[in-house]
Structure 1
Amino acid sequence: MTRTLFHSGRVFDGTGSPIAQADVVIEDGRIVDVGAGLDGDVGVDASGLTLLPGLFDCHVHVTGSGLDLPTRLEQPFSYQFYAAMANLAATLDCGITTARDAEGADLGVQLALERGLIQGPRLQISISMISQTGGHGDGWRASGNHFLYGLPYPGRPDGIADGPDEVRRKVRELLRAGAEVIKVCTTGGVLSPRDDPRHRQFSPEELAVIVEEAAAQGRAVMAHATSPAGVKNAVRAGARSIEHGTILDDASIEMMVEAGTWLVPTLSAGHSLLAMADQGMRISPNALAKAREMTGVHRESVARAYAAGVKIAMGTDSGVTPHGENLLELRLMHEAGMKPEDVLAAATSSSAGLLGVADDRGTIAPGKRADLVLVDRDPYDLADLKSAIVAVYQDGARVRG
């Protein structure tokens, strides 16, 4: 096998340790050595460059392409899958080599990636998000019409369920369809038409059943939760991560620290929603009002969670926000008070821990997959890290640059 040597550059290993001068050797898609004075069969001159582990985005919607409802209503059903190809490619352009889809992508999208039919990050899928009637995932409108985030079909079951028996069956349907993580809405949301982000959704009994059924097949639960009541219920039930965490009080933060629950902030969501509205995109007035109310509070919540020691993983809500702008989240995390090294660790080793793949990727260390990103400036400068990307590697193969 050919040994490829990245030499004369610097390395951020993903743990948050200081950037250091080092060589990296990869062979057969894996990292085999990290250190000084190494050798290889083929050399990559990394002079003036820094090598990072492949980045993660733990909250994307690859079949979604924005919030313009009239445009989406005019698109044929199958358009979303062709759009997903472009969205996945745009995500890979950002140096993101692993992602978790938070609703939308089905087993077919994942298999197309795994078998090389399309190119993009490795994808962990949730397929549909479980929501109560009238909850964040219920697309019922006051007109009587329904507009869901994604229409159900054989590969993507409808996510609406009420009561312990129905939610148990819904988890089983999603697992049967190939879900690797179960997503549940424990509060209202910004974009949903008839609920309030501050209100809790699903009872503790329903949430306990969801977590129990997922755990029975070795799967974790990710909880859309934007307010303390929903966060607390999700943590008590055993959810592995809180998505958004828009409003966090001291008690919910303390519970997350004690339980080891991850926070996936998705600061990009509110930021980009307001930016798109300013640019003239047609957005529901109700959703826009909720976004304006929540954006500043969200940043404060993330700052307090970080200061308290909550584990943080990177996620953007791309699909709601534009694909290909994923690394904006890094800048927003830094602006919320996170140190640059901790931001990069959140996008690498911490995200790998959340997704349960830390033994396989997320750091630059012997035995890990050779998912790597080369950048041509100090990676702690997070203002526009995407523009600094020189090359992206998956399993040692150069896929960008």
Structure 2
Amino acid sequence: MTRTVFRGATLYDATSRSADAADVAVENGWITDVGTGLDGDAEVDCAGRAILPGLFDCHVHLTMSSVDLLDAVQQPFSLQFYEAAGHMARTLATGVTTVRDAGGADLGMRVAQERGLVPGPRMQVSLNMLSQTGGHGDPWWPSTCALDLLPPHPGRPPVIVDGPEEIRRKIRELVRAGADVIKVATSGGVVSSGPGPELVHFRDDEIAMMVTEAAAAGRFVMAHAHGAGAKAAVRHGVRSIEHGNQLDDETLEWMAERRIWLVPTLSAGLGLRQSLEDGSTVYPSEIRDKIEQSHGDDTVRRAVAAGVPIAMGTDAPIYPRGENLLELELLVDKGLSPADALHAATLSAAELMGLDATLGSIEPGKRADLVVVDGDPLDVVGLGKRVRAVYQDGRAVHVRDD
């Protein structure tokens, strides 16, 4: 068994949220020692560079190439999976070694990655998002046409549900199809037909059923939610609030007390505004209005002050894929320190996904998912452009050759 030492780096310690010089010893894909002056059979020279734990993106859509509905409905159905292979490789090259897919990826994609058939991040998949009739995930438009970015197929069941018993059955169906996490929409959304984010979707008995039935299957619930819809989701014990604009102080207090994560996806807001300004995506007028109204929210800044746990998520591809680490800069702009922003992308994200026993920090007994970067690890500005090499289980899966 070969013992490989990554020598001479500055390590980001996610447990203390600090950085210091140290070596990392890896055997058979696992970290066996961290310290100075370690010996080994092979060596990776990291002098002048830094090592981060493999990073997490807790909100991606790997089968989606854009949110342009008119373009999406003209593409062959299976093309999404071939494009997803490229999206997976590009995400991995940014240093993101684990993702939570918030709709689109199915069990086959996860298994393909696990078996080494397709390079990409480890993944938890939700398959699709539970929506009420007329909700954020309902593909119906006033023309009576159904324009669906995530059309159902045998591995991605249809998800429009109403009432607790429909919800119970649908969650069981999603789990049967391979869902690792249950995604729901408890409010309206921005890039969809119908009401905006300010309206609550699903009633209390329906949301309670989601959490209860998911827990019975050993699954967490992630809730696309804003405002009052987020408050309802938090009241019933979801694991995380995705996007989470316009959260009031009471909701944030509950989230801090109950350790319910906020995944702000700040990149998505920026991407939507940029696409509106440059005309790269054609939106119906009602969606353009919702994008313009969503700017300027101070929820993340207040969440930081309230002690709400935060995990990094981007909602890629709404902001260009491969630019995932811009989210770290945006989190810092909202009040996190650089060390805390990195924590949101490492140990906090791992805890959110229930993976912190083996991932999220550089410690003996954890998987050797490592990211080698140029410069100071606590400088997150332009971090994605400074990634030199990415390792999963101690194996190089991306090396920059310039």
Do the two structures share a fold, i.e. TM-score over 0.5?
yes
Aligned residue for 1:168? 168
Residue pair 2:69, 2:148 contacting (<8 A) in 1 also = no
- Give the Cα–Cα distance (whole angstroms) in 1 for the partners of residues 196 and 162 of structure 2: 18
Query: Percent sequence identity over matched residues?
Result: 54
1:161-310 → structure 2 map (5 Å cutoff): 161-227=161-227, 229-281=228-280, 282-297=282-297, 300-310=298-308
Residue pair 1:221, 1:241 contacting (<8 A) in 2 also = yes
Three-state SS of the structure 2 residue aligned to 1:67 is coil
Deviation at 1:18, TM superposition (A): 1.6
- Give the Cα–Cα distance (whole angstroms) in 2 for the partners of residues 5 and 60 of structure 1: 32
- Give the Cα–Cα distance (whole angstroms) in 1 for the partners of residues 77 and 319 of structure 2: 21
Give the TM-score normalised by structure 2.
Answer: 0.97
Aligned residue for 1:155? 155
Residue pair 1:95, 1:389 contacting (<8 A) in 2 also = yes
Instruction: Give the letter for the 1:362 counterpart.
Output: G
Instruction: Give the letter for the 2:244 counterpart.
Output: G
Residue pair 2:53, 2:370 contacting (<8 A) in 1 also = yes
Aligned partner (choices 341, 360, 366) of residue 368 of structure 1: 366
Deviation at 1:14, TM superposition (A): 1.9
CA-to-aligned-CA distance 1:261-320 (integer Å, 9 cap, x gap): 0110000111011112222222233222212211211xx100100111000000000133
Three-state SS of the structure 2 residue aligned to 1:154 is coil
- Give the Cα–Cα distance (whole angstroms) in 2 for the partners of residues 375 and 111 of structure 1: 29
Residue pair 1:66, 1:321 contacting (<8 A) in 2 also = no
- Give the Cα–Cα distance (whole angstroms) in 1 for the partners of residues 368 and 283 of structure 2: 41
Instruction: Give the letter for the 2:270 counterpart.
Output: H
Three-state SS of the structure 2 residue aligned to 1:296 is coil
Larger CA deviation: 15-24 vs 60-69:
15-24
- Give the Cα–Cα distance (whole angstroms) in 2 for the partners of residues 36 and 108 of structure 1: 42
Instruction: Give the letter for the 2:327 counterpart.
Output: E
- Give the Cα–Cα distance (whole angstroms) in 2 for the partners of residues 22 and 379 of structure 1: 13
Aligned residue for 1:311? 309
How many correspondences in the alignment?
Answer: 398
- Give the Cα–Cα distance (whole angstroms) in 2 for the partners of residues 368 and 246 of structure 1: 35
Instruction: Give the letter for the 1:59 counterpart.
Output: H
Deviation at 1:230, TM superposition (A): 1.1
- Give the Cα–Cα distance (whole angstroms) in 2 for the partners of residues 295 and 324 of structure 1: 23
Aligned residue for 2:338? 340
Aligned partner (choices 325, 328, 331) of residue 329 of structure 2: 331
Residue pair 1:16, 1:341 contacting (<8 A) in 2 also = no
- Give the Cα–Cα distance (whole angstroms) in 2 for the partners of residues 147 and 119 of structure 1: 31
Deviation at 1:70, TM superposition (A): 2.2
CA-to-aligned-CA distance 1:122-152 (integer Å, 9 cap, x gap): 0100001000000000111111101123111
- Give the Cα–Cα distance (whole angstroms) in 1 for the partners of residues 101 and 16 of structure 2: 25
1:339-358 → structure 2 map (5 Å cutoff): 339-358=337-356
Deviation at 1:16, TM superposition (A): 4.5
- Give the Cα–Cα distance (whole angstroms) in 2 for the partners of residues 23 and 78 of structure 1: 45
Q: Which runs of 4+ in 1 moved over 3 A?
A: none
Deviation at 1:13, TM superposition (A): 2.0
Aligned residue for 1:6? 6
Residue pair 1:373, 1:392 contacting (<8 A) in 2 also = yes
Aligned residue for 1:96? 96
Aligned residue for 1:48? 48
Gap runs ≥5 in structure 1: none
CA-to-aligned-CA distance 1:52-80 (integer Å, 9 cap, x gap): 00000000000011122222121100010
Give the TM-score normalised by structure 1.
Answer: 0.98
Instruction: Give the letter for the 1:225 counterpart.
Output: A
Counterpart check, 1:17 vs 2:17? yes
Residue pair 2:182, 2:219 contacting (<8 A) in 1 also = yes
Aligned residue for 2:395? 397
Instruction: Give the letter for the 2:266 counterpart.
Output: L
RMSD, aligned CA: 1.0
- Give the Cα–Cα distance (whole angstroms) in 1 for the partners of residues 318 and 249 of structure 2: 29
